[in-house]
Every structure is written in structure tokens, then in C-alpha cells.
A = this chain, B = another copy of it.
Amino acid sequence: MKWTKKLRQPKLQQYIEADPFITDDELAKKFEVSVQTIRLDRLELSIPEVRERIKGVARKQYDPVKALAEEEIIGEMIDLELDSYAISILDIKQEHVFTRQNIARGHHLFAQANSLAVAVINDELALTADASVSFTRQVQAGERVVAKAKVADIRGSRTIVDVESFVGQYPVFKGEFHMFRSDRPEKEDQT
């Protein structure tokens, strides 16, 4: 189907409301128009660029990161509530992919998720003890990975953080991280 501008613009607005993480690139593919056309549409509709939109979505000024320096987070922090959840985005560039296949290397997705699991911990010291991870879909250069971390359990000095990463609506990575923190007394044997 070929969209006229009049039909496309309200639809575009709907898409962005439903998924504020959607990029101009993805929208251009959806409507089979150029990225430039999407940018003009957004300008006319006064819809800000994705990065600004996402910051608008974050419900409030997010909590300050405690366990590491914010610039040590792999990707860009979008939202954070300590000991609860965190969101970051990572734009996959040429430096992140295997040169031959253009597929993102697993350790970059791991690094994004792992640093998010560290960042969500409400402690000055948070270290990874164990992790189980799955790479569920290949990620290409030019794609944007949104990682969402949730604290699943806090038990003494151990915290379990579940991280799921998506490109658009597609899950690409899943991980369970067992984090060690310093400030809580070890209670594992007592509970």
C-alpha cells in the first residue's frame, strides 16, 4: 500500500505514541518512504526526535546511578529506578559487528545488559557473580537495541536482575544476572 501524506501523518503519530522507541529509519521502512520524509512529517507534526521522545517517556528525572560512573554504562541510560528497573539504548554501529557478516557481536549485547544490571543496584559496589544469557535474534548494524532490566529478587548480598533487549518489537537478548552487592548483610542462610 502506498501512503499519501494525509493518511501517513496520523498513522505515524499513532505508531510513535504506541512505541516511542521507534526510529525514523524503522518508520521509513514501514511507510516505504525516505528517512528525510519521516523527518519532515515529524517537523510538521511537532514530534521530537526519538532520543528526546524517549526522555519524555521516562516518568521523571531518573535516579542517579550508584554502582558505577554513568559514563561507564554501555549504551545510553534512559530511565532508572534503583533496585527496581532500568532502561538503556545502544545503537549498533560498524564497530559492534563482525566485519564479514555485519551481525552484532554477542559481547556488546552482553555488555549493555550487564552494565544495566550493575547500574540498577542501589549500592556503591555491585559485581556480577553469574549470568545466563540467550541471543535470540541477530542484530544488524544500524539497529537500535533497547535493554530493559528488572530486579527480580534481592536476597542478602545477592540480587537477581532480569534483562530483556529488543530491536523494535523483536526480542534479541535475554539474560539473568546474579549480582553481588556489599551493603546488605548476608541473609541467604536465614531466609
Contact = CB atoms under 8 A, between A and B. Distances in A.
21 contacts: A68-B100, A69-B100, A72-B98, A72-B105, A74-B107, A100-B124, A103-B127, A105-B114, A105-B115, A106-B114, A106-B127, A107-B110, A107-B111, A110-B114, A128-B135, A130-B133, A130-B134, A131-B131, A131-B132, A132-B132, A133-B133
Contacts of A128: 106, 135
Contacts of A105: 72, 111, 114-115
Interface range, A side: 20 to 34
Interface of A: 68-69, 72, 74, 98-101, 103, 105-107, 110-111, 114-115, 124-125, 127-135, 138
A53 to B, nearest CB: 28
